[in-house]
Structures are given as C-alpha cells and as structure tokens.
Structure 1
Amino acid sequence: MIEIERKFLVTSSEYRNSAISKERIVQGFLNTDPERTVRVRIKERSGFLTVKGKSNATGTTRFEWEKEILVAEAEQLISLCKPVILKKTRYNVPYAGHLFEVDEFHGANEGLVIAEVELKSETEIFEKPSWLGIEITGDIRYYNSQLSKNPWSEYGFNVGNKP
C-alpha cells in the first residue's frame, strides 16, 4: 500500500469549527530507522501496528502497512517504545472535497499542530483552507518518528504555528 500525503503547519484553531470528529491518539515507535519505522498506536478503543517505508525524495510518498491489534497488545508494545510516547488529538476536517487530519500534540510536543491531507497522486491539486500555514512535507523534524526522539518543545525550532 502506498501513502501519498502532504503536511502543513497550522496557523489558527479555525479548523475546529469545521471538524466532523475528533479522537485521542497515543503512539510510540519500536523502530525509527529512516529506511523503515514501526509504530504502535492506540486510537480511542482500537490498537494498530504500522510499518512505514522510506519516503521518496519529496517526502510525499511511501509504503505503509497497518494491522489492527488488540488494545491490550498495543499497550504492551508501547511499553517497549522509544522514550517519548506521542499523545495527540486528531480532528477530521473536510474541506473542498478532501479530508484534512489535524493533529494537536500534547506532552513533550505541546503547542505543535500539523495538518495532513492524503492525495490520489503527487500532482493532485487541492484547495487549501485559510488555517494552513507553511508546508512541511518532507521535513524530517516533523515526522512523528522524529518527534518521539527529539520533541518539538526541546528541539528548539519554533515557526509560530500555535493556534
């Protein structure tokens, strides 16, 4: 399975007004090698194990495999993960024929808000909502796997994206 997505920083909390749902996510990484990452996620009352391959040169496309697992299994695996466990609230926001997933990070990544949109092709054109800021597709600092090793609050980069 190939995942094609673009990521952006978010400049305001306006997306909340259009969100059709929100969910709490807890996730950790068993492996953060740039060639392949292995993620464990609990999304509300479901567990998932995900393997992602290396991104292409633009950062928009990569292999992704995901399997649903029991929450109890996910909890056990999270205890083996890298030191920073990511906690976030995800808002699902439809806009102009696309679904944007907006993640508000908590804990060590508090204040970071990232939106991503999945596309059918790398060249697909889509309309950007007013609350999207600069594009960070391919910027490794904003990969969840990197945020689990180098939290946003400690990393020292701040581009004024707090809503």
Structure 2
Amino acid sequence: MALEIERKFLVRGDFRPDVVNSTRIQQGYLCSAPERCVRVRLTGDQGFLTIKGGTSTSGLTRYEWEHQLPVTEALELLSLCEPGRIEKVRHRVDFAGKTFEVDEFGGDNQGLMIAELELEFEDEPFERPGWLGQEVTGDARYYNSSLIRKPYRDW
C-alpha cells in the first residue's frame, strides 16, 4: 500500500487564471468509518475504487490503495453506497513546481472550495499561492466522507 501525504486548505481568492484542466467528479462511500473508508469515484470517463486507512496523528499521512474500474462497474458500485454523494469539479493548478487540486463542491456542499496538495514527505516546503487560505489539514469536517454525513450547507 502506498502512503498519501496531503495538506488541505480553504480557498480564499481567484485561482482560475492558473487552472490547467478541470474534471467533474461524483463519488460515494461503501464504508466511511474514520479508521478506514472505501470510496467509489467517477472522474470524467473513468471509474475508481479507493481504500484509505485512518489518518496519522499529524493529520497528514494515511494509507491509500486505488484501482481503476470500468465506468459500468463504478456506476453499479455507486448504487450500493451509503446515502449521500459528493459532487465536485476538480481544478488542477500548477504553481511553483507543485500541483494543487482545487475542489469546487456542488450539491449539498455548494460554496465550499478546498485546495489539496500531495507531498513527498510531511515537512516538505512549498510556496503558497496568494489564493490559498486557512489550512484545514486534519480537520475531519473537511473530509469528503464527513461531508456526506454533515454537508457544508448544514454547518
């Protein structure tokens, strides 16, 4: 299993001039327990099944396994998911040698925008773009699996 090291931030400014590409994402959870989650995702014309372990004490690192699926299988698995779906558009933004993924949520999470940055190691330095806001790494309210149970509109 691979380790995912990721930091999350709220978005507070206009990132759009630097967008490289954008993809519509729909996802659901077969299991959304804090210590493990199993996610089904449709990204454009691709399907994925992802298993993630619990988050480390730093809130930055967790185990992740992902497998690509045919879209038909992903659609079938989505029908088996827990109630609720995540709908978002993921914008890829390259900045100072790093790639930020800015998720612009729709549906019950309309108005929420989160930038994610995957790193090679936990204390890896990076330059912050001006549109990057407050860090929310480790704040469980911002986990996609949490946003299904308690959407942003209900905060």
Matches within 5 A, 1:1-163: 1-12=2-13, 14-154=14-154, 156=155
- Residues 45-98 of structure 1, C-alpha deviations (whole Å, 9 max, x = no match): 000000000110121000000000011111111111121111100000000110
Please report how far the alpha carbon of residue 10 of structure 1 lies from its aligned counterpart in structure 2 after TM superposition.
Answer: 0.3
Q: For residue 17 of structure 1, give the secondary structure of its aligned residue in structure 2.
A: helix
The answer (yes or no) to whether the contact 1:26–1:86 under 8 Å persists in 2 is yes
Q: Which runs of 4+ in 1 moved over 3 A?
A: none
Q: Verify the 8 A CA contact 1:84 1:151 in the aligned structure 2.
A: no
* TM-score under structure 1 length normalisation: 0.93
Aligned-partner Cα distance in 2 for 1:152–1:3 = 25
Partner of 1:160: none
Percent identity between matched residues is: 52
CA drift of 1:149 comes to 1.0
Structure 2 length normalisation: TM-score? 0.98
Distance 2:38 2:16 in 1: 30
Tell me which amino acid in the other structure corresponds to 1:146: S
Partner amino acid, structure 1, of 2:50: T
SS at match of 2:134: strand
Name the SS of the counterpart of 1:72 in structure 2.
helix
Contact 1:84 1:108 in 2 (8 A): no
